[in-house]
Amino acid sequence: MLTGIFNKSGVKANVIFFDNKQASKDPWTKEICIYDFRTNIHFTLKKNPMKFEDLKDFIQCYNPENRFERKESWSVENTEGRWRKFSYDEIIARDKTSLDILWLKDKSLADLDNLPDPDVLAGEIVENYRNRIGEF
């Protein structure tokens, strides 16, 4: 689950779109498109609030005009692309078929000069702690 997207402590959110179809013995889903909107992105209510411009890349990748012409922005050549497709078999092969999928490298872990503000880090630590206690 994504943590902190909506700038509210304890809020986890994924946006999942489904087609309404009848139940089937064979899965209707052939592939899943995922947009990573958490790695290397830090919004805060005061210093760095989310703006419409922050969603433009997602809207372009989502391609609401023709969802059947969506193209991945991730590739072997462009490992920074946030939009990536996974096949049904790739998802099912994962541990517990989790949709918590990461492929982008967290730059803050590699570049200590690029760390988020200490308040952001502390907030994320507290939020993760509360979520884990709640799950426990």
Coil, strand or helix: which one is 132? helix
Per-residue confidence (pLDDT) for residue 53, from 0 to 100: 92
pLDDT at 5 over 80: no
Q: Where are the domains of the chain?
A: 31-135
Q: What is the pLDDT of residues 74-120, one digit of tens each?
A: 999 998 899 998 888 888 888 776 777 888 887 766 666 666 778 88
Q: What is the pLDDT of residues 20-64, one digit of tens each?
A: 889 999 888 888 888 888 888 877 777 788 889 998 998 988 888
Residue for token pair 């462009």: 78
Would you give the DSSP letter of residue 94?
Answer: S
CA pair distance 89, 59, nearest whole angstrom: 26
0.85 surpassed by pTM: no
